């Protein structure tokens, strides 16, 4: 029987296929449709490394399957561990490129920050990934492999799509990946364990909201149109006010009548779906009381939270992070006006794994032509 090989392009991947697709594979190979369910169990339930391990399939069926397919799981090529315990992994992709994935352990939880693209089209001023340019979108297999082949996979409590790339720019594959994570035939996780981040893309945002129950995090960074456009070119195509108008169409994001003050904040985690806004705080740029008041005005009536994030310097960008007192003043003002706000702890900065620092541009240059 054939064994799986790294970068095997002659056979197709099973990892990433839905139950329906796996049943179709079985039928096309002359097997009963229920065999597709058995294959799904071996992949998503048991995390097998090869088709040989699917022992409740007959030897003949395993041979038929292995002629056309492989699992498609590939281990990370490299890893770096931070002094705070954060681990950054380098994964190869089916297209011969590379992505970075960040594992963030905490006392009672472990979060994985996954990538969905190599580089990014959005070109946000403060993001190292955007400086890399766009190298391509990941396949469903590429996305799920970051979880499937993670050494700490069994410890995971949460997955956030906040790594390299814009998730809504690769929406079909992100939706298929989250489906595999949440459906009974897959990982059977609650959608509460998954957060998808986005700058907001016209047409794609509403589709994500309609087709997924995962948490949503919107990259805000400024409530002012002109300033946000300078920081994030995507503001021109879909202004933050338009994003908020879209969000207001969904009852889960609307604060209950009379639900002001702190009471609704304490019940924040009881909602099936959480809406949050990510806000990197830049010194002297977006950390003023004017910005605080505009954020309150923009998000008024929304059931949401704001995460304040420290800026991590990148080459060629003169922005600086705001100081702790200004961040605390911003947090206290927003919280005092009914918007649950936290200051997010920075993790993995010493290994360039913190927010906005992921990039595989150097690997792409160093390995150009070597993965053909």
What residues act catalytically? 100, 355
**Residue in this structure with the two tokens 């697709």, named with its chain if needed:** 21
Residue of 72, 88, 15, 74 whose CA lies nearest to 360? 88
- DSSP lists the bridge partners of residue 99 as 91
DSSP symbols for 186-235: TT---GGGEEEEES--TTHHHHHHHH--SEEEEE-S-SSHHHHHHH-THH
The 275-281 sheet, strands edge to edge:
78-81, 87-92, 98-105, 110-113, 158-161, 194-198, 215-219, 275-281, 305-310, 340-343
* CA distances in angstroms from 130 to 100, 104, 160, 335, listed in the order given: 14, 22, 18, 31
DSSP symbols for 255-281: PPTT--TTHHHHTGGGSSS-EEEEEEE
The β-bridge relationship of strands 98-105 and 87-92 is: antiparallel
Strands (E) in 263-365, as ranges, are 275-281, 305-310, 340-343
Residues 6 or more apart in contact with residue 25 via CB below 8 angstroms = 14, 17, 36, 39, 65, 68, 69
Residue of 26, 3, 7 whose CA lies nearest to 145? 7
Helix axes of 240-247 and 204-211: crossing angle, nearest 10 degrees: 30
Tokens of 184: 């009974």
Q: Tell me which DSSP letter residue 117 carries.
A: E
What Rg, from alpha-carbon coordinates, does the chain have?
22
């Amino acid at each position: 029987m054939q064994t799986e090989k790294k970068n095997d392009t002659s056979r197709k991947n099973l990892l990433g296929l839905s139950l329906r697709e796996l049943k179709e594979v079985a039928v096309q190979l002359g097997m009963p449709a229920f065999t597709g369910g058995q294959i799904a169990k071996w992949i998503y339930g048991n995390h097998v490394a090869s088709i040989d391990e699917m022992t409740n399939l007959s030897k003949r069926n395993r041979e038929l399957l292995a002629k056309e397919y492989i699992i498609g799981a590939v281990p990370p090529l490299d890893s770096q561990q931070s002094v705070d315990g954060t681990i950054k992994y380098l994964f190869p992709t089916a297209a011969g490129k590379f992505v970075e994935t960040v594992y963030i352990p905490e006392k009672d939880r472990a979060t994985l920050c996954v990538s969905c693209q190599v580089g990014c089209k959005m070109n946000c001023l403060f993001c190292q990934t955007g400086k890399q340019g766009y190298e391509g979108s990941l396949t469903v297999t590429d996305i799920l492999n970051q979880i499937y082949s993670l050494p700490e996979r069994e410890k995971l409590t949460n997955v956030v799509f906040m790594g390299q790339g814009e998730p809504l720019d690769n929406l079909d594959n992100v939706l298929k990946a989250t489906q595999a994570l949440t459906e009974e035939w897959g990982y059977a996780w609650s959608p509460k364990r998954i957060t998808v981040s986005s700058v907001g893309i016209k047409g794609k945002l509403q589709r994500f909201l309609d087709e997924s129950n995962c948490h949503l995090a919107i990259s805000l960074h400024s409530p002012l149109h002109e300033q946000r456009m300078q920081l994030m070119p995507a503001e021109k195509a879909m202004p933050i006010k338009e994003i908020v108008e879209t969000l207001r169409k969904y009852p889960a994001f609307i604060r209950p009548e009379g639900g002001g003050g702190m009471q609704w904040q304490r019940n924040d985690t009881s909602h099936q779906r959480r809406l949050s806004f990510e806000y990197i705080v830049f010194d002297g740029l977006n950390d003023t009381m004017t910005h605080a008041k505009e954020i309150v005005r923009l998000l008024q009536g929304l059931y949401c939270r704001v995460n304040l994030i420290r800026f991590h310097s990148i080459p060629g960008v003169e922005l600086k992070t705001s100081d702790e007192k200004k961040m605390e003043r911003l947090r206290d003002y927003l919280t005092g006006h009914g918007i649950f706000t936290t200051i997010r702890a920075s993790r993995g900065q010493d290994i360039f794994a913190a927010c906005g620092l992921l990039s595989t541009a150097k690997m792409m240059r160093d390995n150009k032509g070597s993965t053909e």
